[in-house]
Structure 1
């Protein structure tokens, strides 16, 4: 298997194999970085941000530190605020805007790109799932079968309340509010609200049917 091509297929949202050496190593790196962040305990805002940047692979340096802790926190106020614990698969496919807040127990399956806009707020236990599996169990085939995904984009100034789940391919427009416990399966435009769980077959419309999977798998 061409590992680079397999990786590119993952990024494009096409069928790929997740349990290959390089992607397995990437997930192990991210898991270790998440553990360091989650178990850091009582650390400064700057230390927490450095641990966060390690998860997502952000090499942009923070502004020079101030000797005054309060002043140093002020220097960092536009950076995202992440409450542990958090879990991701890869980390490097997650982009979070300035002033965003992610509450505890967030899970991000970042098979494909996941973007979270500036000043967007997450309640506890928000889950973003950009990865998915074939619907045909014979094709799905456990860890030996292929996976795929679709990008997730959440706009600026949104609020996702507690226990919201966002499925692959969803875009949530600027200023939208998603009510607690919702399962978001479609695009939500600016300032549109989802107030209750919305689980529909619409999510599956962008994926092949059972017969269509066979040809795609054979192309890997």
Structure 2
């Protein structure tokens, strides 16, 4: 391990690091203050909510909606595109970069976890953690109660079925579901005709 790097530098480089050092505690505390204020705003103060999210995140589009309750670790590692929507109880553990494209929809209770711990108990007892970036492409819809694990890429236009646990990359233009999440089928031009199952527009 490279002892010349700070714990934050190790975290951002995908190396084993220790999270409970003053610099990272301060940054998480600053994020928690903004998240607390966001989650406790009156429901009609949407513009103030957007201001707080813009201050918290590394990048946002102009048009986005995040319902409360929302949680994250640092905020500055979260980059969202235009027309982003996160429904209730979204959790993003952004110890590494979380890149989310345009027109992405998150259903309630989605967990995006760039953070992880070693499998062996000894380094866990020594408080080592790691983080790996997550990328979600344009036009992705992620169903309720989905968990996305560290280091995952989800290709553009894909749909992740409710309750899935995503442990491997998902290609573009597919419906994927299950635990572990697997490709069910490709999305086709015929799908444009229906809004739900075989119910036509």
Q: Is this a same-fold pair by TM over 0.5?
A: yes
Q: TM-score, normalised by structure 1?
A: 0.77
Q: CA 1:31 to 1:190, structure 2 compared with 1: closer, same or farther past 3 Å? A: same
Deviation at 1:45, TM superposition (A): 2.9
Q: Retained in 2: the 8 A contact 1:3–1:22? A: no
Q: CA 1:49–1:3 in structure 2 vs 1: closer, same or farther (change >3 Å)?
A: farther
Q: Mark the CA change 1:182 to 1:25 in structure 2 (over 3 Å): closer, same or farther.
A: same
Q: What count of residue pairs does the alignment treat as equivalent?
A: 181
Structure 1 residue 83: Cα displacement: 0.7
Unaligned runs of 5+ residues in structure 2 are 183-201
Could you tell me how far 1:57 is from its partner in structure 2?
Answer: 5.2
Give how far 1:42 is off: 2.4
Partner residue, 2:199: none
Once the two structures are TM-superposed, the CA of residue 184 in structure 1 deviates from its matched residue by: 0.3
State how 1:118-129 maps to structure 2 within 5 Å: 118-129=102-113
Give SS of 2:29's match. Answer: helix
Measured on the aligned residues, the alpha-carbon RMSD in Å equals: 2.1
Deviations 1:125-169 (A, max 9, x none): 00001010111111111xx42111110000000000100000001
Contact 2:7 2:21 in 1 (8 A): no
Per-residue CA deviation, residues 76-131 of structure 1 (Å, 9 max, x unaligned), is 9x521111110000000001110011111000111100011110100000000101
Q: Can you give the 5+ residue segments of structure 1 that lack an aligned partner in the other structure?
A: 61-75, 201-220
**Partner of 2:77 in structure 1?**
93
Larger relative contact order, structure 1 or 2 (CA cutoff 8 Å, min sep 6): 1
User: Where do 4+ consecutive residues of structure 1 move more than 3 Å?
Assistant: 1-4
**Residue 14 of structure 1 aligns with which residue?**
15
SS of match in other structure, 2:71 = strand
In 1: Cα distance, 2:3 partner to 2:44 partner: 42
CA 1:11/1:176 → structure 2, altered by over 3 Å: closer, same or farther?
same
| Contact 1:87 1:106 (8 Å CA) reproduced | yes
User: Matches of residues 105-144 of structure 1 in structure 2 within 5 Å?
Assistant: 105-141=89-125, 144=126
- The answer to whether structure 1 residue 184 and structure 2 residue 166 are counterparts is yes
**Do residues 103 (structure 1) and 104 (structure 2) align?**
no
- What TM-score do you get using the length of structure 2 for normalisation? 0.84
Contact 2:115 2:131 in 1 (8 A): yes
Q: CA deviation at 1:44?
A: 3.4
Shift of 1:50: 0.5
Tell whether the 8 Å contact from 1:134 to 1:140 is kept in structure 2 after alignment: yes
Which residue does the alignment assign to 1:168? 150
**Structure (1/2) with the larger strand percentage:** 2
